[in-house]
């Protein structure tokens, strides 16, 4: 079965990119034939490097703008030449393009996965909205959480067209090992506590509330450090806040790191105070690595974390709740250890990449019967 994944993201490796990568790897293991159409833009293209390193077949399409006519025609040519049985979109540009192509392509089933929204700029939000409107032309739309399904229904996507498939990870690659050398590399004292954040520095991630909480904790508690890994439109604002508070040695920005998830064992807890989410991959990865998670109870996060058993849930936009939760995990080692054990077990049983891939395969086969692909 040939599957053509149409990826139209930003090129760095965040949640959606890891979903595509994990899914393609599992599909290869199960004798399917996944290929990726990669819309290349200026700047870093780390995800393309990961695909190439893993020998996942890639069709590279130069993309100059969000809705590039030349890129659309190139995609059309790839689809006609490759003759995939499944066209699987990941991102609003692919959603829009495939909705248009559906009128001219005969045979392949067309499916989209609705990942989280960035809400980065009003212009980006407009294009995401156009992508959402295109779902009515798809054979199936995958929601990564119950919350995402409710949002799709609000967009008038028929209930029967929506399938819920939670994201999955390669659990074995996150089995917790001993702490690495990050503390030594950063010159942190022995016995210090590290609160980590890994993700896009965008408004949807609740960065201002994270910074407010970090400011409070750093001024009241010694030996606590906040490590921020990632880049985004709030990078300069974040750097300005840290400098204005004189906290450059306590809130440390590492920028984008290809080895970001490999640094999880160096963290005593992971913090994700998001305002909106689907099913965050980084939460699953931290849980698998045995790192206690503090996360906002938004989107599909409550479907992953059971409060005080597999993580700590907080209200969004509440820096005070962040402070209380961080201190709770620092002060109660028994709580942190119980959460760590429970979370690792939960991910292995419910959120493996193999389980995710099998559910997608069942969905593909069902669609092929319906479209005679």
Query: Which of the residues in the chain have pLDDT under 70?
Result: 66, 117-124, 176-178, 370-373
Domain 171-350 superfamily per CATH = Glycogen Phosphorylase B; (3.40.50.2000)
**Residue 216, Cβ density class (10 Å: 0-12 exposed, 13-18 middle, ≥19 buried):** middle
Any idea where the domains of the chain sit in the sequence?
2-168+352-371, 171-350
Neighbours of 150 (CB within 10 A): 11
Please give, one letter per residue, the 3-state secondary structure of 221-290: CCCEEEEEECCCCCHHHHHHHHHHCCCCCCEEEEECCCCHHHHHHHCCEEEECCCCCCCCHHHHHHHHCC
143 phi and psi angles, rounded to 5 deg: -100, 135
E strands present in the chain? 2-7, 33-40, 58-62, 86-90, 109-114, 140-143, 162-164, 193-198, 224-229, 251-255, 269-272, 293-296, 312-314
The CATH number assigned to the domain with range 2-168+352-371 reads: 3.40.50.2000
pLDDT at residue 172, as a whole number: 87
355, 168 Cβ separation under 8 angstroms: yes
Crossing angle for the helix pair 15-29 and 46-53, to the nearest 10 degrees: 10
pLDDT at residue 373, as a whole number: 44
Enter the DSSP assignment of 11. Answer: S
pLDDT at residue 129, as a whole number: 81
Neighbours of 147 (CB within 10 A): 20
Residue position matching structure tokens 């698998």:
288
pLDDT at residue 174, as a whole number: 86
Confirm whether 2-168+352-371 and 171-350 share one CATH topology. yes
Closest CA to 137 of 115, 165, 156: 156
pLDDT at residue 351, as a whole number: 96
């Amino acid at each position: 079965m040939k599957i053509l994944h149409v990826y139209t993201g930003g090129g760095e490796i965040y949640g959606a990119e890891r979903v595509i990568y994990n899914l393609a790897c599992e599909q290869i293991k199960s004798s399917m034939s996944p290929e990726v159409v990669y819309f290349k833009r200026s700047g870093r293209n780390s995800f393309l490097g990961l695909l190439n390193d893993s020998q996942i077949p890639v069709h590279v399409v130069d993309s100059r703008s969000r809705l590039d006519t030349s890129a659309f025609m190139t995609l059309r040519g790839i689809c006609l030449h490759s003759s995939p049985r499944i066209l699987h979109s990941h991102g609003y540009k692919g959603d829009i393009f495939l909705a248009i192509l559906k009128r001219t392509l005969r045979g392949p089933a067309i499916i989209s996965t609705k990942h989280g929204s960035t809400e980065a700029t009003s212009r980006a939000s407009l294009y995401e909205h156009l992508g959402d409107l295109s779902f009515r032309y798809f054979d199936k739309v995958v929601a990564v959480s119950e919350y995402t399904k409710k949002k799709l229904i609000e967009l008038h996507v028929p209930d029967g067209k929506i399938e819920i498939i939670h994201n999955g990870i390669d659990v074995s690659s996150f089995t917790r090992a001993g702490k690495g050398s990050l503390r030594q590399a950063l010159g942190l004292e022995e016995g210090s506590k590290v609160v980590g954040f890994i993700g896009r520095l965008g408004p949807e991630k609740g960065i201002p509330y994270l910074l407010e909480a970090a400011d409070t904790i750093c001024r009241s508690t010694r030996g606590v450090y906040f490590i921020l890994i990632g880049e985004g439109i709030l990078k300069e604002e974040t750097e300005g806040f840290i400098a204005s508070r004189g906290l450059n040695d306590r809130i440390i920005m590492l920028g984008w790191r290809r080895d970001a998830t490999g640094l999880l064992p160096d963290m005593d807890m992971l913090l994700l105070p998001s305002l909106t989410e689907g099913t965050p991959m980084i939460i699953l990865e931290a849980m698998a690595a045995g790192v206690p998670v503090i996360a906002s109870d938004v989107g599909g996060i409550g479907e992953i974390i059971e409060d005080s058993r597999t993580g700590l849930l907080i209200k969004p936009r509440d820096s005070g709740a962040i402070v209380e939760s961080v201190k709770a995990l620092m002060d109660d080692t028994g709580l942190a250890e119980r959460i760590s054990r429970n979370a690792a077990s939960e991910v292995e049983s419910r959120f493996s990449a193999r389980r995710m891939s099998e559910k997608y395969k069942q969905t593909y086969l069902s669609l092929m019967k319906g479209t005679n692909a």
